[in-house]
Amino acid sequence: MRDTLPLLPSDGETIAELRELYRAAESRAARLRLLSVSARELAEANSLTLDEVIERCAQRLAFFVGCRSAVVLQVEAQASNENAIPITAAGDDCKAIAWLVVDGLSGIDAIPDEEDRDAFRMELDQLGLTIDRITKDRERGELLSKLQEREQTLGMLLDQIFTAQEEERRRVSHELHDGVAQTATALVRILESPAVVAGQVDGGVNPAEVARSLVAELRRVIAGLRPTLLDDLGLISALQALAENLAAEGYSVTQEFSQGDQRLAPVVETAIFRVAQEAVANIRKHAGGPCNVTLVARLDTDPLLLMIEDEGVGPSDETKITGMLSGNSVGIEVMKERMASIGGSLDWGAGDESGVFVKASFPAQF
């Protein structure tokens, strides 16, 4: 009995199978080429080349699924396009960080071949990883730049504050030497004079009057360092004293003060008073002489407000540029730092017609 030979496929069947295998191999090669080329370009992408690389990868994806073009949109720009395909970052939340719009493709499910859909998704994952990586690099770079700028500013302020401290010490030293020390020396000489030692009046000079003058000098110096009114009666009283001192020098001062039921924290009162003190000192330096000045303090609102405005000659054009825009004025920068330390902010500038305004605001709940 002869063995039965297996039936061989016909030539037509063989050619069809070979063609199918060829097409399948060609499709796999196309998928591998898509993913490998994109992976290499995306791995080499940086902050400067990201947009260009993403555009090429998106166009390559469009050609892969037989479409003409594609574009990658930012998150906020996709709302009007219902065919946008999300590009997500790595993580569990699957949050879209960009959107892909392929001309003529309504979505991934519209791709007929399952393996093509998988390759499409893998390409989207690569895009998402790269966009996320470079976005974070950009954020870190911006943060580092801001920190470096902040360090430079703080370093400059620290140097200027040390200089200001030395100038303040020199001022106090001169006041003590020229005023207090001389008055004290005069009092000692009067008390040591023979007439006083003998219990007689020396030429009508009254030691008690000299002593009172000495006390007044000491109080004036102490008030320059820190007014006792601020500790004893609070911020409004200290601000009123600033206003009265200006008025005594010939300035026309308008006061608008209001306060809440409770005093502010000592650190807040000190910061606000120092800002007011610096603003008043700037008026004396730059207003060009006595003029109209308005002091406003609203301590019963939220946010709380301090406003000091003069109608003097105002800042020079150079000060407007270097002071306002570059922050080179140590007085202004120190005031801003004081406000920032209590969670507030400070703004200043030239008035509408003349003079300068300083406006400080800070949260009531501090």
User: Could you give the C-alpha distances from 194 to 182, 189, 212, in angstroms and in order?
Assistant: 20, 10, 22
Residue 364: inside a domain, yes or no?
yes
Q: Is residue 135 located within the same domain as residue 257? A: no
In the prediction, which pLDDT does 185 show?
A: 77
Are residues 362 and 247 part of one domain? yes
Domain span at residue 104? Answer: 11-140
Cα distance from N-terminal residue to C-terminal residue, the chain: 107
pTM of the model: 0.46
* 201 token code pair: 């009046």
* Whether residues 238 and 339 fall in one domain: yes
Report the CATH number that the domain containing residue 285 is assigned in CATH: 3.30.565.10
Contact 358, 335 (CB under 8 A): yes
Nearest Cα to Cα of residue 350 among 318, 324, 314, 316: 314
The verdict on residue 202 lying in a domain is no
Beta bridge partners of 356: 350
**pLDDT of 324:** 46
What's the pLDDT at 254? 93
Q: Which of 83, 113, 140 is the last residue of a domain?
A: 140
Do 132 and 259 lie in a common domain? no
Reduced to 3 states (helix: H, G, I; strand: E, B; else coil), residue 77 is helix
Nearest C-alpha neighbor of 61 from the set 100, 26, 88? 100
Short-list 312, 305, 284, 290, CA closest to 359: 305
Residue 159 falls inside a structural domain: no
* pLDDT of 366: 52
How far apart, in whole angstroms, are the C-alpha atoms of residue 179 and residue 1?
Answer: 140
Per DSSP, 202 falls in state B
> Is 21 within the bounds of a domain?
yes
Q: Could you give the number of structural domains in the chain?
A: 2
Question: Are 243 and 113 members of one domain?
Answer: no
pLDDT in tens, 196-219: 655 555 555 677 777 777 777 777
Final residue of a structural domain among 89, 115, 140: 140
In a domain, 325, yes or no: yes
Q: Which of 140, 156, 178 is the last residue of a domain?
A: 140
Is there a single domain that holds both residue 136 and residue 35?
A: yes
Indicate whether 175 belongs to any domain: no
Cis peptide before 303 (omega within 30 of 0): yes
Residue 190 is assigned to a structural domain of this protein: no
Q: DSSP 3-state assignment of 330?
A: helix
Domain assignment present for 196: no
Which segments in the chain show pLDDT lower than 50?
1, 323-328
